Amino acid sequence: MKDSIQKAYDPETFRREGRALVDFLADSLQSSLKEDHTVLEWREPDSQYDHWEKDWRERADDDPMDLFRDVFRYCVRLQERKYMGHQISPPAPVSALAGFLGDFMNNGMGVYEMGAPATAIERLVIQIVARQMGFSAEADGVLTSGGTLANLTALLAARSVKADEKVWTEGSKKQYALLVSEEAHYCVDRAVRIMGWGGAGIIKAPANDRFQMRTELLPELYRQARSDGKEVIAVVGSACSTATGSFDDLEAIADFCELHDLWFHIDGAHGAALAFSQQYRSVIKGLERADSVAMDFHKMLVTPSVTTALVFKDGRHSFQTFAQKAQYLFEEDSDREWYNLAKRTFECTKLMLSVRAYSILRTHGLSFLDDYVTTAVDLGIRFGEMIVENPEMELCTPPECNIVCFRYRPSGKENMELNALNERIRRQILEEGRFYIVKTQLRGIVWLRCTLTNPFTREEDLADLLSTIEKTGRKILAEGVPVRG
């Protein structure tokens, strides 16, 4: 045996390094729960690259802890209470360990025997999620690497079931289309184009002033699409929209889809997790009437990225993604092998996603997820109130979950100037690294955007953020540099 191979697989080295890494991460978690640290240490992309290029050139020792510490140092640290940026949550440590187990075992999931426990656990996780969403035992589905892929997978199934051509086997001559809110995530638009429907295949319903789909316009948009020669096969509801966290009226969309025999898909990447909250599940009323729902575990269910559940109300549809409708009509139940997951997902080799999700369910139970989701939404709503109470701040729309958009708005400033001002505030906050928040642009206005995913974030952290924004804003204005749009 060559020395290098012996060394790379040395069990004692692995034990020592593994313990050192877990100790390091546990210490960092303990200290971020106790005191304030910076959330990130900002470096411009080129400088970040130079750092790593130098690391490669000058690497001296073979202790991976130096590497691990350095990666940690330049990561955004979701475990800090002042992390309030993108929608991803700090993973429950047990699920990070489950991810590590999966990485070590490296079972590829492409066929049942190369992932037996994770395959069976995947079926179980889907059943648990489906029950939580209010679906019956008929429901089935798969886990995918992310909401983007789950949405595309669902829409392919929708086409297979609803289109009257055999598109999968013979292609199509028709112009298919779906209806979706203008506020939907861009991955829905991409899915439509990937399916070959082009720009004409996506019909965007305008949103109201709370950024929810104006469902009262669906009949007219549908009529118009048909008179333009389009075959509408689906409506996609957002639960919620990414930018503002606005939930479409799922009951209204369900009624409309039933009336016209359309597929109802819900992009619940962020908000379908409200199904786990006793207090807030009413926000997603009507979810159980959808034909398919995509839900990310890595956003509101504290699981490492990316882990997504795609649930079909009628489990048979879950076998339709890469198949022709006729096929499914003639197939015996026994031909639908639940354990051949690769037949139903894009991924051939796939991470052992189910183990990450199940580790949380099994260790901490549904009540923990309820507590987490409820805490996050409570924080979002409270932050909305604090913004309204602050005369220097403007709330974009009342938060419906843990996503909150707002801006610094000193009196007497025009929109163009306010846009540039808020851009600069957000940039300065990024560079300082005490907080991590993001921004979004809606209808020509730049908003600061927070997702409150760290359950340890306190009201005082939110107050601190608002006063930091005010101070930063005043300072920028006082510098007298012209703030232009």
Ligand X SMILES: *Cc1c(COP(=O)(O)O)cnc(C)c1O
Stretch that binds ligand X, among 75-83, 145-153, 328-336, 435-443 (CB under 6 A): 145-153
Select from 82, 159, 185, 409 the one that contacts ligand X (CB under 6 A).
185
Alpha carbon distance 57, 91 (integer Å): 33
Stretch that binds ligand X, among 110-118, 144-152, 251-259, 274-282 (CB under 6 A): 144-152
Alpha carbon distance 147, 241 (integer Å): 13
User: 188 vs 379, which CB is nearer to ligand X?
Assistant: 188
The enclosing H or E element of 445 equals: strand 445-451
Q: Round the CA-based radius of gyration of the chain to a whole number and report it.
A: 24
Sign of the C-alpha dihedral computed for residues 312, 315, 316 and 321 taken in this order: positive
Select from 270, 289, 344, 426 the one that contacts ligand X (CB under 6 A).
270
Stretch that binds ligand X, among 68-76, 142-150, 168-176, 376-384 (CB under 6 A): 142-150
Minimum Å gap between C-beta 143 and ligand X is 12
User: 272 vs 379, which CB is nearer to ligand X?
Assistant: 272
CA-wise closest residue to 125 among 133, 240, 99, 317: 133
- Over the window 342 to 381, marking each residue x when it contacts ligand X by CB under 6 A and - when it does not, the resulting string is ----------------------------------------
Count helices and strands (H / E) in the chain.
16, 11
Stretch that binds ligand X, among 118-126, 146-154, 204-212, 312-320 (CB under 6 A): 146-154
Minimum Å gap between C-beta 184 and ligand X is 7
Alpha carbon distance 308, 296 (integer Å): 4
Q: Does position 422 bind ligand X by CB under 6 A?
A: no
Residues 69-88 close enough to bind ligand X by CB under 6 A: 87
Stretch that binds ligand X, among 140-148, 336-344, 406-414, 451-459 (CB under 6 A): 140-148
Residues 272-331 close enough to bind ligand X by CB under 6 A: 296, 306, 308
Q: Does position 248 bind ligand X by CB under 6 A?
A: no
Alpha carbon distance 122, 128 (integer Å): 10
**Do 158 and 323 form a contact (C-beta atoms < 8 A)?**
no
Select from 147, 201, 304, 380 the one that contacts ligand X (CB under 6 A).
147
Residue showing the smallest CB distance to ligand X in the complex: 147
Half-sphere exposure of residue 325: CA atoms within 13 angstroms, side-chain side:
12
Sign of the C-alpha dihedral computed for residues 118, 119, 125 and 129 taken in this order: positive
- Return the DSSP state at 480: T
Minimum Å gap between C-beta 276 and ligand X is 16
CA-wise closest residue to 162 among 170, 395, 154: 154
- Over the window 22 to 61, marking each residue x when it contacts ligand X by CB under 6 A and - when it does not, the resulting string is ----------------------------------------
Stretch that binds ligand X, among 196-204, 265-273, 394-402, 421-429 (CB under 6 A): 265-273
Report the relative pairing of strands 230-238 and 263-267 from DSSP bridges: parallel
Q: Does position 267 bind ligand X by CB under 6 A?
A: yes
CA-wise closest residue to 342 among 204, 144, 206: 144
Minimum Å gap between C-beta 471 and ligand X is 31
Alpha helices in 37-146 (DSSP H): 45-58, 64-74, 93-105, 116-133
Select from 269, 273, 421, 425 the one that contacts ligand X (CB under 6 A).
269
The enclosing H or E element of 446 equals: strand 445-451
Alpha carbon distance 278, 477 (integer Å): 45
Alpha carbon distance 144, 137 (integer Å): 21
Place of tokens 């890595």: 298
Half-sphere exposure of residue 110: CA atoms within 13 angstroms, side-chain side:
4
Minimum Å gap between C-beta 149 and ligand X is 7
Residues 84-113 close enough to bind ligand X by CB under 6 A: 87
User: 201 vs 245, which CB is nearer to ligand X?
Assistant: 245
Q: Does position 187 bind ligand X by CB under 6 A?
A: yes
Q: Hey, how many other C-beta atoms are within 10 angstroms of the C-beta on 303?
A: 26
| Token pair for 429 | 């906050």
# of chain residues touching ligand X (CB under 6 A)? 14
Minimum Å gap between C-beta 356 and ligand X is 14
3-state class (DSSP) for residue 19: helix
Select from 93, 134, 146, 410 the one that contacts ligand X (CB under 6 A).
146
User: 144 vs 454, which CB is nearer to ligand X?
Assistant: 144
User: 147 vs 455, which CB is nearer to ligand X?
Assistant: 147
Q: Does position 242 bind ligand X by CB under 6 A?
A: yes
* φ, ψ of residue 34 in degrees (nearest 5): -90, -45
Minimum Å gap between C-beta 264 and ligand X is 16
3-state class (DSSP) for residue 212: coil
User: 181 vs 419, which CB is nearer to ligand X?
Assistant: 181
Between helix 11-34 and helix 64-74 the angle, nearest 10°, is 30
Site residues for ligand X per CB under 6 A: 87, 146-148, 185, 187, 238, 242, 267, 269-270, 296, 306, 308
